[in-house]
Every structure is written in structure tokens, then in C-alpha cells.
Amino acid sequence: MADPPGRSHGGWRVHAALGAAQLGFALFPVLGKITLGSVPPLTFAAIRVTASALLLDLLRRLGSPAETLRPGDRRSILLFALLGVSINQVLFILGLSMSTAIHTTILTAMIPVFTLVAAVALGRERFTRRAALAILLAAIGAVLLLRPAGEGPAEGQTAGNLLLLANGLSYSLYLVLSRPILARYRVSTFVAAVFRYGALPIVLCALPSLWRFDVGAVSGEAWACFAGIIVVSTVMPYMLNSWALARTEASRVAFYVFMQPLISTLLAVAVLGEGLSGSTVAAGVLILGGLAVSVLHRRQLPARPVP
């Protein structure tokens, strides 16, 4: 579908697209925990990203007219692929395998705050009191998840949460640094290229795990969840979010991120039987508070040209 000549506030279709995209993202931690029960993390990452890259490239080819990357942009897009796909996906899936689905979705809400930090550090946005408050609230919440008071986290869970934080930082750098080049291409062209370039490093790192992978040991339930992750939690939300972003303000798209932790937490409790502790709830409130302040901060900044 071609992008419209200008952005509008959109209608019910924009809200439906944003809601469906967040539902897809929210399903990932729960479907991922089920899949990781019989698929090793690196094998998981390699298959997920490779299959998603093939589907995204198919969608790109269905668009018309065909669009190719400029030779001068390929090196930059390789960097974005490393940050937004290779490093991001490996850290996320390793973190998910060591942590809980609830902690995973709460820490994922740190991405807009990390994006604000990266934008300020790179001079793309101003450092204001609102920015400082957003960072402080989210940081306190993250510390609560890393060291839950008096609960004695399961072995490896703290390391998993640290990997999830590193994943958020990597993806935030991708969002900030890729914006100038993204403006020169159709979304389908850019996203397909990022996944295509980002898949190869993951596959190379996962070769020993892929070699030992026993396909027959994977349950039908795990394969069904894996298919859902690729289609419903990867390709669909990427395309729906991008379609909506072309038709409404970025602040509205960011606001829908609030749906993700709520849906994922409810599903993790209902489907996986995970429990909610006082410190986890407090951490979630603080991180979502930081997210809310960061969204308000970005809405109040005047538009600035991207260098």
C-alpha cells in the first residue's frame, strides 16, 4: 500500500492497526517462553530472523515500483542491521530464556526511554527536566527488577534482565541513528534490508546450535507458537506500525506502547502461571511512568530537521 502524501490524525483503521501491532508484540514473550522450552535460544533467533527476512523481502517485492538501496547507504544500513536485528534479537531471546515473560515485557518498555537518552546524547533532542524525570523513574524501576527486594531472584534471572536492558539500548540506538536514511526509502524497502543484512551474523553465530538442533524433539505446540512469533509478533506488527506511522503522529504510535506490558503480563499470569510480586508491580509502574513522561517530553519539543 502506497504511503499517503501527508500525515493525518487517521481514523479507526489507524487505531486498529496500532492496537493489533501492540497485541502482536505483547504475544511474543509468552509465545517465546513456550517455544524456548524445546528450541535453543540461538537456534530460535536464527530461524526467527531468517524466516522474517524472507517474508519481509517477499512483501517488498510485491510493492511497485521496485526500489533498491543506494550503494552509498549500504554500509550504514549494515550498522543499523547489527544494532536493530543482530545484536538486538540475540540479546532479547537470550534474556527472555533466562528471565520471565513479565520482566521481559516490562523492560521492553524501557526502549522509548533509552531512545530519549540516545537522542539527547547525540544532540537530536534537548535535555530538559522532563527528560531527566523520565530517565530517573525508568532507572529506579529497572534497578528494582535487577534486585527485587527480599525475593531472591531465580538463578540467572538478573543476568537475563541485564541482557534485556542491553537489548533495549541497542534497539534505541538503531531507532535514533537510522532515522535520516529511513526517510529516503519506503518502509518495506528499509525494513526488509535491515532484516536481510542482520540475519547473516545471527546464522553464523548459531551454526553450532543449528547443527545440533533436533527438529523431531520440538513439540507441535512449540512449532505453532514459533509460527505465530514470525507472522503475528514480527512481520505483522512491523508492517502495521509502519503503516500507521505514515498516517498519524509518532507520539500517538508511542502511546500505544502502554498496551504491551498490560497484555503480556495478563497472558503470562494466565497462560504461563507466572506470579506478580510487589517489587515487580512497583518496577512496572515506575518504568511506565518514565515512558509516559518521555512521550510527553517528545510531544512538547518543536520539530527539528534531522542532520
Question: Distance of CA 2 to CAs 5, 37, 263, 284, Å?
Answer: 9, 40, 31, 38
- Is residue 256 within 8 A of residue 18, CB to CB? The reply is yes
Q: Is 233 exposed, middle or buried (0-12, 13-18, 19+ CB in 10 A)?
A: buried
Q: So what's the pLDDT on residue 61? A: 82
The answer to whether residue 151 scores a pLDDT higher than 60 is no
For residue 62, give the amino acid letter.
L
User: In 98-254, where do the E strands start and end?
Assistant: none
Q: How many whole angstroms separate alpha carbon 215 and alpha carbon 223? A: 10
Structure confidence by residue, pLDDT tens digits, 36-48: 999 999 999 999 9
Structure confidence by residue, pLDDT tens digits, 89-148: 999 999 999 988 988 888 888 887 887 788 788 777 777 888 788 888 888 888 887 765
Q: How many whole angstroms separate alpha carbon 244 and alpha carbon 22? A: 12
Q: What is the DSSP secondary structure assignment for residue 37, as one 8-state letter?
A: T
Structure confidence by residue, pLDDT tens digits, 153-167: 555 788 888 999 999
The answer to whether residue 7 scores a pLDDT higher than 80 is no
The closest of 13, 85, 69 to 188, measured between CA atoms, is 69
Q: How many whole angstroms separate alpha carbon 157 and alpha carbon 164? A: 10
Rg over CA atoms, the chain: 19
Q: Within 13 Å and on the Cβ side, how many CA atoms surround 17?
A: 19
